Structure 1
Amino acid sequence: MHAQIILFDGFDPLDVIAPYEVLYAGGTASGGALSVELVSAEGPREVVSGTGGLVLRATAALDAARPGLILVPGASGRVGEPGEVPDQHAGADEWRPDEFIPVLLGRTLTTELPALLKAAMDNPDVTLGAVCGGSLVLAMAGLLEGRYATTHHLGLDMLDATGVHAVKARIVDDGDLVTGAGVTSGLDLGLYLLERMVGPRIAHAVEELFAHERRGTVWRHQGPAPAGL
């Protein structure tokens, strides 16, 4: 099993590093049953995050045809006002470290990323994951209409406005789409995906190694609807 974690200009480092470390440790604990790499839509390159200019290197181009997991992080920057419309026409070379998060997320739509994510969603052998604003990237690309997903609590209304069934939960499992809420949920998302892909014993071992227990109930559109709460 292979996991590809996407980097784009202005990405949030914690959205990337938390699931990367979990999945990497899971690969080690499983004797190599899982591998993970950092990728970008453009191919191998140095990618600048939205946090203090921290740079991570994408070692390969995103391969939408490769079976496994593809994970989309959110962005790090200034918090935009509710309802702010992303500037989707600004070029990537205009990125600044003080950009508003909605602008950074919207700028991904000017790259090859939406087409690659569409191809990945059409691939029955791929599971898509997203942390925080990564769900908004997918939603703004028109890929989540009618699906169940979550994102950072400040972005739930925006998610709902794109035709997504926005769920206020830490992790939402919608089959081949698994999404996490705020930035620290990337750790829990990674552990849940590890359990799904490799098994609960491996996920539990990584939990113990990281001294972290996954929080909350994973939300699924199953069972009776709650009443009287």
Structure 2
Amino acid sequence: MHRRVLLHDAGVIGNRPCTPHIGARSYLRHQGADVRDARVVDDGDLVSAGGVSAGIDRALRLVKQAFGSETAASTERYLEFERRGTVVVTSG
């Protein structure tokens, strides 16, 4: 079972914007979650990503928020990873 499904079933996601792994999208939509087609969805205290490499994008977003753009960029270079795709921000 996908973690996002567990989070939804535990009441954490509810009808909030999120992006799960492709294998959980239809289930979560059917359960009423606001599933977005994006690599990363930032809804304040719920930041979700769609898969393994999207999880790295999510982690780099959190590094940027906590430590700034320069630290996120240097972390990205160190990991030899290039952020890509859409980040949907639904909260201030």
Q: State the TM-score, normalizing by the size of structure 1.
A: 0.38
Q: Say yes or no: does 1:200 pair with 2:69.
A: yes
User: Per residue, is there more helix in 1 or in 2?
Assistant: 2
Alignment of 1:76-155 (within 5 A): 102=1, 133-155=2-24
Letter in 2 for 1:206: T
Per-residue CA deviations over 1:125-163 (Å, capped at 9, x if unaligned) read xxxxxxxx3222210112211200011112101111222
Root-mean-square deviation over aligned CA pairs: 1.5
- Gaps (5+ residues) in structure 2? none
Aligned length: 91
User: Per residue, is there more strand in 1 or in 2?
Assistant: 1
Flag as ranges the 4+ runs of structure 1 deviating above 4 A.
none
Q: Say yes or no: does 1:161 pair with 2:30.
A: yes
**Counterpart-to-counterpart distance in 2, 1:211 and 1:159:** 33
Q: Which has the larger radius of gyration?
A: 1
Aligned counterpart, 2:59: 190
- Gaps (5+ residues) in structure 1? 1-101, 103-132, 223-229
Highest relative contact order (Cα 8 Å, sep 6+), 1 or 2? 2
**Counterpart-to-counterpart distance in 1, 2:10 and 2:30:** 13
Q: Are the aligned partners of 2:4 and 2:24 in contact in 1 as well (CA < 8 Å)?
A: no
Per-residue CA deviations over 1:45-82 (Å, capped at 9, x if unaligned) read xxxxxxxxxxxxxxxxxxxxxxxxxxxxxxxxxxxxxx
